């Protein structure tokens, strides 16, 4: 479709979003604003969900339904509708990420009908170009580079952004892009490639370790809660 050109995609009456990160919350909440019922399928529990708590809470306020410990195993199209087979999961031992690994429960399959299904299950680096250039890659496909200069093992090739960190936030990619440009400039000028100098930074450390005496003259007040527009109103707003 032309959704990438600014047009609103027609998602229909019931959208299923597969995933548990902030992107999944964006998709579900946007579907609600488009007039659809939205259900999020996540294969682990609420405690393991990587999305920010405020995103999950706001989605719940807006009527998004959450099906935890649930994963799709099959999807097919019939008559313009999508039919998904879902399976219930149980959490086993922690995996390499420290989160408990989900395992399907035998015989727990059931079917649901959807007007649209959105996959929001993460991103991965496609390692093909790195292999073609003879670059070293990590297990997740990310290109190995010096964390300070972003130089790879091959002279003249630098890597930064998600291809180097793995899936990450845009602001970190932009910041690392600036640092890489600094190192590339050093390389092109024939200087030692040392990367951007570390500028002075001052920190008192975690709040719990700072002496109360520093705040003796200040009245303690609770953190200000940001106001939000009412649920009904924001479910119909587009921007």
> What domains appear along the chain, each with residue ranges and CATH number?
11-119 (3.50.50.60), 128-188 (no CATH)
3-state secondary structure of 112: strand
Query: For the segment 41-97, what is each residue's pLDDT rounded down to a tens digit?
Result: 999 999 999 999 999 999 999 999 999 999 999 999 999 899 999 999 999 888 777
- Taking a C-beta distance cutoff of 8 angstroms, is the pair 66, 42 a contact? yes
Statement: residue 210 has pLDDT above 70: yes
pTM tops 0.85, yes or no: no
Most confident of 139-153, 176-190, 201-215, 220-234: 176-190
Over range 220-238, report the average pLDDT: 83
Strands 116-119 and 14-18: parallel
Element (H, E) at 60: helix 53-61
Percent of the chain topping pLDDT 90: 68
- CA dihedral (227, 230, 235, 239) in degrees, to 10, reads -40
Angstrom distances, CA of residue 10 to CA of 3, 33, 34, 36: 9, 12, 8, 9
Query: For the segment 168-191, what is each residue's pLDDT rounded down to a tens digit?
Result: 889 999 999 999 999 999 999 999
In 3D space, the residue among 91, 94, 25, 87 whose CA is nearest the CA of residue 59 turns out to be 25
């Amino acid at each position: 479709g032309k959704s990438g050109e600014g047009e609103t995609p027609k998602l229909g009456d019931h959208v299923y979003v597969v995933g548990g990160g902030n992107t999944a919350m964006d998709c579900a909440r946007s579907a609600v604003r488009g007039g659809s019922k939205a259900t999020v399928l996540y294969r682990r529990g609420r405690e393991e969900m990587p999305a920010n708590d405020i995103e999950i809470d706001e989605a719940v306020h807006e009527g998004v339904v959450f099906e935890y410990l649930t994963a799709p195993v099959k999807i097919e199209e019939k008559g313009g509708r999508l039919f998904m087979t879902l399976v219930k999961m149980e959490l086993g031992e922690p995996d390499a990420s420290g989160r408990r690994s989900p395992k399907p429960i035998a015989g727990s399959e059931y079917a649901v009908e959807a007007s649209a299904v959105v996959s929001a299950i993460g991103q991965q680096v496609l390692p093909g170009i790195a292999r073609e250039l003879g670059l070293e890659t990590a297990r997740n496909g990310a290109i190995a580079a010096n964390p300070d200069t972003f130089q790879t093992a091959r002279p003249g090739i630098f890597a930064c952004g998600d291809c180097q960190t793995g899936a990450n936030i845009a602001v970190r990619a932009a910041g690392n892009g600036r640092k890489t440009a600094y190192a590339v400039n050093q390389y092109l000028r024939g200087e030692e490639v040392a990367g951007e100098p570390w500028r002075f930074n001052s920190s008192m450390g975690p709040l719990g370790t700072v002496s109360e005496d520093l705040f003796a003259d200040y009245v303690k007040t609770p953190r200000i809660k940001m106001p939000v527009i009412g649920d009904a109103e924001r479910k119909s707003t587009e921007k």
